Structure 1
Amino acid sequence: MATTANIGRSAEAPRLSAILAAPFLAIGRFLVMLAEASPRMQALERLNRIPDAELKARGLTRDGEMRRILGISGSI
């Protein structure tokens, strides 16, 4: 049974909402790409690959290293 919403619209035709959203989605993907390329984000990615035991052996904490990378000082 066909519904009236699908009459006159081909299955391949893009929806108006998708067309209007496309530029905003592209901008969002670009901003995420910029953020992921930043040196701080890359340093956080490297930190995430280090096991807690290795950080402890070095006398470091994950929280302390995150604060150092992000430039956060003092207590929150």
Structure 2
Amino acid sequence: MAYISQAQPHSSFFPRISDFFRSVLKAVDLAASTNLRIAQIEKLNAKSDAELKKIGLRREDIARHVFRDLYHI
């Protein structure tokens, strides 16, 4: 009689640690990117309507302009 055993390999500790730090770094990168965009929105909001018109923006389009690469709107 033959016996077949399929032992499940134990997941290693190091890949799990690596995944954890990768996700932490991804979150930090996202937060930094968001802070830069918010700073850009605040800078554009501080401009007058005439200054915005010179650069081809309307006040209601500022958020769309800043996030255009993410939302494609």
TM-score calculated relative to the size of structure 2: 0.41
TM-score for the superposition, normalised by structure 1: 0.40
Decide which structure has greater helix share: 2
